[in-house]
Amino acid sequence: MIVSVCIKGVNAQVIEGNVSMSDMVPKEFFGDWRVSSICTKTTNKEYFQSTSLDIWTLSRQGDIITLMNPLSGARAEITVDDVKGKTVKFEKKTVFPDEVSIETPILTLQGDNFTGVDRINIKTYKNGELLKEDFIEYKVKGTKLSGSPVSGILGIY
């Protein structure tokens, strides 16, 4: 997002600056969460779990938001696509030689809880051509386990 301010007068100037979408994420989102997921739609019941229980740790340093799962060891930088009040749409894209995965959680914060959906789209390729595409949508609920992650305690979000 670019913000422009125009100042009128003899020496008119345009001042431009960037506002990162990550700056707009409510800081209450950062910390450790217990997240339960229930499948609501899928194209491949054999490939995806119908339910899951995870721990998500959301932290921010500068403009970079990181999602970690200490149970699986997974760690990814995520992009903020949209923020409307307490609702945030994230995106995580993972690219492998024969597979592209895009995960899009849309979460609404309500005190120490969030609810929303987590959509995952996986495209599998062979010799550069699309072989198959799988999709799953989970209904997710998160409960805050701890306030801010360690980085938040240090004043870094």
Q: Give the pLDDT of the chain (157 residues) as one tens digit per residue.
A: 433 333 344 444 444 434 467 778 998 999 999 999 999 999 999 888 899 999 999 999 888 899 998 888 888 999 999 999 999 999 999 999 999 999 999 999 999 999 999 999 999 999 989 999 999 999 999 999 986 544 444 343 3
pLDDT at 8: 44
pLDDT at 7: 39
105: Cα separation from own chain's centroid:
6
What's the rounded Cα separation, in Å, for the pair 127 and 80?
A: 32
Domain 25-153 coded CATH 2.40.128.120? yes
Residue 40 one-letter amino acid? T
pLDDT at 146: 83
The residues spanned by each domain of the chain are: 25-153
pLDDT at 13: 46
CB neighbours of 98 closer than 8 A, spacing ≥ 6? 124, 125, 126
pLDDT at 155: 43
pLDDT at 20: 62
pLDDT at 1: 42
Q: What is the pTM (predicted TM-score) of this model?
A: 0.77
What's the rounded Cα separation, in Å, for the pair 139 and 39?
A: 6
Encoded tokens for 80: 């903020």
